[in-house]
Amino acid sequence: RTKQGSLRAVWLRTDGERVLSTIVTADDDPVPIQRLSGRLTQSDGVAWSVHPGDDNLLRGAVAKPIRGVEAIEVSGVSIGPLGFLQPNPIVAERMYEWLSEGLKGERAFDLYAGSGAMTRRLRPLFGEVLACETHEESAAALGVAAESAEVFMARQTETPSAVVANPPRKGLGKSVVAELLRLRPQRIHLMECGPAGLASDLEALSEAYEVESLRAFDTLPQTSHVELVAKLVLRS
């Protein structure tokens, strides 16, 4: 909060039995990391990541294993030191179910796919699912090359049946919105944690789409944040 000192954040992830911890610091001094990692006595694995920026991103580009397990498996997917898990899994499951409801077809895009929670749900519903993720660890777990949504969308030539997207707090942005309006899939399902970003995206997409439904899910308990799920359909 004060931006003083080295420690930026500590991530804790669990598969229900084991705990994987990731220490994120602002500099690459290993001495306090070694001292702190030894005090995390209930962690089955500890990793270290450096993120010197002053933004609110909590993970660096690469995590270095310090001791113990280097990954945990959740729902058949390997989650490493920088992999993301929703902190309220029961509500998150309901959210993913609602997000995927009404989707079916030949081809789907899963933008900002993360650890693949939505990708796995889309595969039984579509003949082909193309996942896009910019973070290298998560992209490798999905079996795709790390790539931004802007680059991914710009190289697409065939219109998918549907697009599912879980962008960062700022939203899709002008470039991705422009590509969606160019391709014009029948359905676009958005999951966003930033109300202002979602409002901007919905206004920009209203040129060709109408909002079918909008729901909020409290996946971040004891905070002021919620995940918003908006379902859009192409105007006839």
What's CA 151's distance to the chain center, in Å? 17
pLDDT at 223: 82
For 137-151, what is the mean pLDDT? 90
- Residue 87 has a pLDDT of 76
Q: Where are the alpha helices (DSSP H) in the chain?
A: 30-37, 89-100, 117-122, 136-142, 149-154, 173-183, 195-205
Alpha-carbon torsion 204, 208, 210, 211, what sign? negative
pLDDT tens digits, 50-105 = 988 776 667 777 899 999 999 998 777 788 888 877 777 788 889 999 999 999 99
Neighbouring residues of 48: CB distance < 8 A, sequence distance ≥ 6: 22, 23, 24, 25, 30, 33, 37, 63, 64, 66
Residue 135 has pLDDT above 80, yes or no: yes
- The alpha carbon torsion through 141, 143, 146, 152 (nearest 10 deg) reads -130
pLDDT at 1: 61
Q: What is residue 57's predicted lDDT score, i.e. its pLDDT?
A: 67
Distance between CA atoms of 27 and 49, rounded to whole angstroms? 9
Q: How many C-beta atoms lie closer than 10 Å to residue 98's C-beta? A: 16
Q: Is the pLDDT of residue 43 over 70?
A: yes
Task: List Cα–Cα distances, 37 to 23, 40, 60, in angstroms.
Answer: 8, 5, 18
pLDDT the model gives residue 151? 97
Amino acid identity at 130: L
Question: Residue 73 has what DSSP assignment?
Answer: E
Q: How far is CA 236 from CA 59, 105, 160, 210, in A?
A: 42, 18, 17, 10
d(CA 178, CA 182): 6
Query: Confidence class of residue 41 from pLDDT cuts 50, 70 and 90?
Result: very high
What pLDDT shows up at residue 15?
A: 85
pLDDT at 16: 85
Residues 146-190: tens digit of each pLDDT: 999 999 999 999 999 999 999 988 999 999 999 999 999 999 999
Q: What is the pTM of this model?
A: 0.80
Comparing 3-7, 109-113, 158-162, which segment has the lowest mean pLDDT? Answer: 3-7
